[in-house]
Each structure stands twice: as structure tokens, then as C-alpha cells.
Structure 1
Amino acid sequence: MRRLLLIGAGHAGAELLRRWADAPAPGVELVLLTPDTRAPYSGMVPGWLAGDYAWGDCCIDFARLAARAGAKLVVDRAVALDTARREVQLAGGGTLAADAMVLNIGSTVRTPQPAPGPQAIVLPTRPLGALHEAVDAAVALWRERQRAAELVGVGGGAAGVEALLALRRRVLRAGVAPRCTLLTRDGALLRGLNARARRLAREALARSGITLRQSFDVQEIQAGGLLARDGQTQAADGVLWAAGAVAHGWPAAAGVDVDAAGFVRVDPTLRSTSHSWLFAVGDCAAFDPPLPKAGVYSVRMGPVLAHNVGAALGGRTLREYRPQRRQLVLLNTADGSAIASRGQLAAAGRWAMRWKDAIDRGFVERYR
């Protein structure tokens, strides 16, 4: 019997498992390797961070999905890949070999090297499980200090905007008065969205009392704040880091073809450009032309991935993944409203948040 190894529990992998449960590939053992059996849907994380959802509301239960699909579940993390042996090394020791593999490992973030001594609490937005573990302890500490908390978000993309608005809401609910600042490395806010959507986001930040500081390139995390490369400083008790997706290093170290940032290059069938038995989806994959690192693309990869892994193992024709040219973006502004943007259109209101909530809950419910 041949083996298919799904490494990581992401959006596209969830769809692969769901479809495998209905139509498993004959003669193929499916194995899921993941360090966490519950994985949050990224679209609902700002709502959880604001305190509107419980963590469980946002999560897909991959143990249940794997059981339904008849897949073997290995709770561990891949740390290295031997392409000659088609084998991954596990953090807990041991190895797993397979005839074909899917990388669904997402991305991470890299924060600056902290200065010696005490620093502000840093909350990286990737991986999401680490944010879940850290945020309650941070809020409790700020509440104990019984003074206004200086909260700083780093990153001008959708994750940075939504996360800081949400964290501000969570801290307010805990009885702490926050002073919030959003830092961007250049002059861009929500690059890739239309001008009206960007204006609506600026208005949402202003309504929440969040100061926007642009052209602040963080060099170092220091005691009491941040230091920019040009010498500017910013006071901070907490730093919510959402700047830039960073690739995991072990695929590149294994000799897999990667782009300049270390993400796995794939062809239109989601297959590695260097190893035909290896697929990559979601944030860890690099496309030509490049795609934004956003869950809306990962979700659409799922059906193509589910077909192609079975087709590859069965010697059938693979399908091409065609990313949507214009995607709907719904940004939670943590005040009961959301910003809706698609192409050159944008609007905001409570109706948009109700729409977003219905879409997000519907997506998670599909895998329950």
C-alpha cells in the first residue's frame, strides 16, 4: 500500500480530508502529521481576539476529520526532509516516509533580536496557536499594572489592522485603558486594496483612537519600547507583530526548489517544481506570479489539491489551480462592523460584519 503524508493542518488540507472521507484513493494510506489537532480558521481569529468568539468556535477539529477520513494521525512536527528517502524527521524523534507528500505548513514571523534585559511583551500573530496561548497571560499582566497599556501593532496589512483593533477591544473588556499605535515600515496601509477600502480602514483606526505611524522600520525591541533603524522610538508594553510572512527553513535546506523568500515553488497543479511527488499549498507555497499570503486563496486550493494527489498516485491527469482575479475581502473592525472590499468597490457597516460572520461560521461548520 502506498502512503500519502499530509504535513500540517491548514485550510486546503481540511478540504482534502473532507473529500477523502467521501472518496478515498484506493490502495493509499493517508497520514496527517500536525503538532496541533485543532487549527483555527484565520478569518475568525480577529473575532476571537476581540472576545466575540470562543477559541473553539474558530477551530477545525483535525483529529475528528482524520478519523472520519480513515487517516492515521501523528501529533508531532516535521523539522527536516530527506528528499532521497522521501522521509521527514520529527521533532519528537523518529521519521515518517511516504510515496507522496503535501506541505500545508503555513508561514511564521520573525521578530527583531531583543535587547538585553526586560522588554515589552511580544505577541506574534503566527503561528496562531502561539498567539492563543500568550494573549490571556499578557492581558492579565497589563490589568495587574493598573495603568494604561501602550499597545503597538507592527504591520500595515490586513492582519496588522484587524489584530490591533481586536486586541484593543479585548483589553478594554478586561478593564484596561489602552493607548494604541500601528506601525508600518513604509507609507503603505493595506497594500493591494482599493483607495476607498484603505480610507475606511484609516477611519476605523481613528475612531478607535489608534495612531498610525508610517515609515517606522523596527530594528530592535528594547525595555519599554521599540527602536527604528533611523533612530525613532516608540513606547510599548505590548507588541503585536504581524509584519511579513516568513518561510519555514527546512524545505529549502532539503534542496526543494524555493523562491527568494524560501517558499516552496509550485506549478499550476500545486506540485513542487523540483520534486513531482511533493505538493505545497497555502502560505508555504510560492506561485508565479506571486499570490498574497491570505486564507481566501488557500481555501480555493483545497478542491484542486484533493483531486490532484489522488490523480498523481493513480496516474491520472492533474488539474490546474486558477486563483481568483478579484477576491472578496472582509475586515473585522472590532466595533460590530466590517469593511467589505472587492476590486474597486468598498463599503463598511454592521451588515458587512453579519455577512462575514455567516461566511466564517459556515466555513468552519463544513468540517464539523
Structure 2
Amino acid sequence: MVVVGLGDSGLLTALHLARRRGLEVVGISTRPGHVSGQELGLRLARPEDWQRDYRWSFDRFKGLDRVRVVHAEATALDLAGHTLSLRQYDGSHTTEHWDVLVIATGVTNGFWRRPDLVDEASVEAALVEPHRQLADARDVLVVGGGAAAVSSALQLALRWPEHRVRLAFPGERALVQHHRRTWEHVERRLVAAGVELLPGHRAVVPDGFAGDAITSGVVAWTTGQDPTAAEAVLWTIGRVQPNTAWLPAELLDDDGFVAVRPGLQSTTADTVFAIGDVAATDPLRSSARNRADKLLARNIRRQLAGGALGSFNAPRRRWGSVLGVEPDGLRVFAPNGRPFRFPAWTVRRILQPWIVRRGIYRGVRGDTATQPNNR
């Protein structure tokens, strides 16, 4: 079993597969450790807190003891020969044979989710430098209307209440893929934190710019408002690109995502599966946010045994954590838009150690992550 991509979905899938004795599981990662794509706002505002719960070395995961992790990037796939070509971090090229392949390479989205093959120093810089840019800016403009945008605006306002933080989004409300109740609650939280809301503002995005850097200067609007100047502009505009350049075209849909059947199996190759943002499961590509990793591992075992595969049933709306951990706890929004709050003390004493580390990740060893210096 080869799992390409050890982000959130790929890591969990590898952990589930490794529980079955007799299966050799190999994980391919462009990072030297696990770097989650979750909770951008907390990552930018309080990276020391974020990395405690979202950045871990692979040797901390007890369930990966039976997984061979390779620090490399996939460069080509031979479907007929069942071989995967890799470029390792030292520049050498190797191949891996696979009987079953899981594609979990995710998407490129801004500067915080990229496919580059990097070392620990690069991971550290990607955490520290954006934080310093935003710490130094007294006037921050967040552009975008998704969860990354609203969580960033709130977390920045909470971290630096002396900063001016504005949130510009194109419609009458943000979070249009969530239930309206979710936005109504989030809007109140933003206003209470001092975030200035700019609805109906659609930005002019410079040609060739994918939101992969924090900029400064003036932002123009296609919706007729006067240009807006800011010391720091955070672009969370959702221009995602699937990390599939290494894959044969026959595995992809017209937009470059991996085409899959309801059981997360490729539509053209029975021994290839996909999960997470790279998998074209539904319009929201929601398998990553709905714990489809258990289903995928079960389906792979069923296929090996000649059984019928289960189906992934996608929700109609996004749900889950939107704002990240706040001073009074963590709010998780149900599909109907109603929030459930974990009080702050339960996040550190129950949610993270018992539900996340022991329950979801099957055991995580003691905290050894390097903490950056933050202001």
C-alpha cells in the first residue's frame, strides 16, 4: 500500500491501513513531518499554539511505527507497471512498487498549502515569516469569504486588538457554503472582536497572482468601491489548484482533480483510490472534512477480500470548526448552522489529548516540536 501525501487525510488513511497486520504500508511526504492545513487564522496569529496541535514529527505517531515514511515528491506514475517515481530530498530518484495506491496530495492554496519538497527550516520559515509580517502591520485587510478568511480576520483581531483588521468579501455575506445560521453567529463574533466588515467587495486580483503571498499597498475592487490601502493584505481567495501534475490524464477530471466513484476508487483504475481535496467526490470535495479516511481504509480491505465497497455520502453544506480556538473555547458548527462550544479548559485537557491525539490519531507521543519565537 502506498499513500502519496501525508497531510491530514493521507496520514489518517495510513494509520488505519497500518492497523492490519500483513499489509506493508509506505507513506510519501514532501514534508519531514506532519504539517496540517487546518486553522489558518490560529497559525498566522499564534503559531506557537498552532504547531503544538497541528505540526508533529512523524515519529511521534505510534500508528506510524509500522509505516515506512519516505521524504520525497511524486514525479510520475506508471499505471501498467504499478510503479511510482519519486524525487527524494537529497536529489536522488527512486521508484516504489504498489499494489494499491492512495492519492492524498491535496491542493495548492495560497502560501500556507503548497506541494514543495521542503526541509524543517523551510517549514519553520513558512510559520514565522507571515506571523512577523502581520505583527508589524497596524492595518490588515483580509480578502475572501471562506472559512480561512473569517478565521484569519477574527484571530488577528484577537491577537492584536490595537491593529485595524478589515474583512472584504464579494457577496452580502461570507461563508456561503455554510448554513446561514453559521454566518450569522460568526458575524457577531467578528464584530465583537472589532473586525470591520466590507460586504460586496470583489477584489481585482493581479494577473498571474494566486494569493500565495502577503502583499501591501492598494487593492482595487471590481464592484465599484474606492480602492483600499493596507499595510498587509492577506489573500484568502480560494484559488485552489490540485497537486496532480505527476498523474496520467486518464485519472483526472476536466479540472485536474482525481475522478472517483462513490467508494473513493478511481473511475479508471481499480487499484487507485483518492481522498481529500484532490478527490472529485462532490462539488465541495468534502471527503477530507468528513472523516472519509475510515471508509477508504475499509474499502481497500474489502477490495483485497473481493467484497463490495461502501459509499461516501457528502453533506450538502460545509460544517465543523470555522473560527478556531478562541479565548472561551472552540465552536464546532453543525450542518444546520448551530454551534456547539467546547469550553477552553476542555480543549487542552480533553479534546486534544483524548479525542484528537488518542482517539483520532491512535496515540501521539510526548511534545517535542520546536517552538518559534513570536511577538
Same fold, TM exceeding 0.5?
yes
Q: Structure 1's 21 and 323: CA in aligned 2 closer, same or farther, altered over 3 A?
A: same
Q: Structure 1's 46 and 224: CA in aligned 2 closer, same or farther, altered over 3 A?
A: closer
Displacement after TM superposition at 1:161 (Å) = 0.7
8 Å contact kept, 1:200–1:339: no
1:261 and 2:255 equivalent?
yes
What residue is the counterpart of 2:28 in the other structure? 33
Q: Structure 1's 310 and 344: CA in aligned 2 closer, same or farther, altered over 3 A?
A: closer
CA shift digits 1:117-143 (9 cap, x unpaired): xxxxxxx34249978633422443565
8 Å contact kept, 2:216–2:232: no
Q: Determine the C-alpha separation between the residues in 2 that align with 1:23 and 1:131.
A: 32
Q: What runs of 5+ residues in structure 2 fail to find an aligned partner? A: 210-214, 365-375
What residue is the counterpart of 2:179 in the other structure? 194
Displacement after TM superposition at 1:270 (Å) = 0.7
Q: Determine the C-alpha separation between the residues in 2 that align with 1:229 and 1:42.
A: 30
TM-score norm. by structure 1 comes to: 0.77
Which of 333, 342, 346 aligns to 1:341? It is 333
What residue is the counterpart of 2:323 in the other structure? 332
Q: Determine the C-alpha separation between the residues in 1 that align with 2:126 and 2:31.
A: 16
Displacement after TM superposition at 1:60 (Å) = 4.7
Q: What runs of 5+ residues in structure 1 fail to find an aligned partner? A: 111-123
8 Å contact kept, 2:14–2:27: no
Which of 313, 324, 344 aligns to 1:322? It is 313
CA shift digits 1:16-58 (9 cap, x unpaired): 333334323x3x4321100124324455554444427251332
What residue is the counterpart of 1:301 in the other structure? 292
What residue is the counterpart of 1:120 in the other structure? none
Q: Determine the C-alpha separation between the residues in 2 that align with 1:5 and 1:195.
A: 40
8 Å contact kept, 1:50–1:166: yes
Displacement after TM superposition at 1:347 (Å) = 4.5
CA shift digits 1:87-139 (9 cap, x unpaired): 333344423332221011111125xxxxxxxxxxxxx3424997863342244
8 Å contact kept, 1:60–1:364: no
Structure-to-structure mapping, 1:174-189, within 5 angstroms: 177-189=162-174
Displacement after TM superposition at 1:326 (Å) = 7.1
Structure-to-structure mapping, 1:54-93, within 5 angstroms: 54-65=50-61, 68-91=64-87, 92-93=91-92
Matched AA of 2:169: T
Displacement after TM superposition at 1:355 (Å) = 6.4
CA shift digits 1:248-281 (9 cap, x unpaired): 3535862133334322111111111122221100
Matched AA of 1:165: L
Which of 204, 220, 225 aligns to 1:227? It is 220
Q: Determine the C-alpha separation between the residues in 2 that align with 1:325 and 1:319.
A: 19
8 Å contact kept, 2:104–2:275: yes
CA shift digits 1:299-339 (9 cap, x unpaired): x2111111222333444433222345677523336443554
Q: Identical aligned pairs, as a percentage?
A: 24
8 Å contact kept, 2:82–2:97: yes
What residue is the counterpart of 1:103 in the other structure? 103
1:11 and 2:8 equivalent?
yes
1:163 and 2:152 equivalent?
yes
8 Å contact kept, 2:265–2:273: yes
1:285 and 2:279 equivalent?
yes
1:364 and 2:350 equivalent?
no
Q: Determine the C-alpha separation between the residues in 2 that align with 1:81 and 1:187.
A: 44
TM-score norm. by structure 2 comes to: 0.76
1:22 and 2:19 equivalent?
yes
Residues 266-275 or 220-229, more deviating: 220-229
Displacement after TM superposition at 1:15 (Å) = 3.0
Question: What is the Cα-based RMSD across aligned positions, in Å?
Answer: 3.4
Displacement after TM superposition at 1:151 (Å) = 1.5
Q: SS where residue 89 of structure 1 aligns?
A: strand
Q: Determine the C-alpha separation between the residues in 2 that align with 1:267 and 1:53.
A: 38
Displacement after TM superposition at 1:84 (Å) = 3.7
Q: SS where residue 332 of structure 1 aligns?
A: strand
